[in-house]
């Protein structure tokens, strides 16, 4: 299903560094679907932009087309829209989330990302994976269930999260 969604987007895009080989990749995914594959969509972060742009704007600007894969959405929808589309789980990480809650207030220029992360705090956080808890490195990972509201004891994440600053959820 995700390959079909990406193919629909690809048909409307001009050839470029991120699109040139995507048709073949998507054809192969549809012809030979992996047995352990997942139906997922990726939300990318527009690292090169000073302000938020819609996916339509990004996919129509030659510079933006060269900066990131245009098959990846870079504007989060309201959680109600994801639910309507049948999305149940969302996986996020502290490196991606933190960039919208910095002291420089990047989030003011990317309001849909701030809204997205704040809305997630009102859904059930199923798991927290902090690599520092087992001596590893990297961002903290959270898994949310969009179909369930946050339970009474779940506190919203702090604006900036560093490894070991949140307690891992119970198994």
Name residues whose C-beta falls within 8 Å of residue 8's C-beta, 6 or more positions apart in sequence. none
Euclidean distance between CA atoms 44 and 26, whole angstroms: 19
Nearest to 22 by CA among 73, 71, 74: 71
Nearest to 98 by CA among 162, 18, 147: 162
Q: What predicted TM-score, i.e. pTM, was given to this entire model?
A: 0.84
Residue 171 has pLDDT above 70, yes or no: no
Average pLDDT score over residue span 121-127: 97
pLDDT of residue 160: 81
Confidence of residue 166 (pLDDT cuts 50, 70, 90): low
Q: Where are the alpha helices (DSSP H) in 32-171?
A: 55-60, 62-67, 79-84, 94-98, 111-120
Residue 154 has pLDDT above 80, yes or no: yes
Residue pLDDT, tens place only, 77-105: 999 999 999 899 999 999 999 999 987 78
């Amino acid at each position: 299903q995700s390959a079909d969604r990406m193919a629909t987007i690809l048909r409307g895009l001009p050839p470029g560094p991120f699109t040139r080989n995507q048709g073949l990749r998507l054809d192969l995914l549809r012809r030979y679907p992996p047995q352990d594959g997942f139906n997922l969509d990726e939300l990318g972060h527009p690292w090169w932009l000073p302000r938020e742009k819609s996916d339509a704007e990004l996919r129509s600007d030659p510079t933006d087309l060269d900066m990131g894969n245009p098959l990846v959405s870079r504007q989060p929808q309201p959680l109600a829209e994801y639910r309507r589309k049948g999305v149940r789980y969302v996986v996020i990480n502290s490196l991606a989330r933190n960039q919208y809650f910095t002291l420089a207030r990047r989030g003011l220029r990317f309001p849909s990302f701030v809204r997205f992360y704040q809305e997630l705090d009102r859904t059930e956080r199923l798991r927290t994976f902090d690599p520092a808890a087992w001596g590893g490195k990297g961002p903290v990972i959270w898994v949310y269930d969009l179909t369930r509201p946050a339970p009474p004891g779940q506190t919203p994440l702090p604006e900036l999260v560093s490894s070991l600053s949140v307690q891992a959820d119970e198994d």
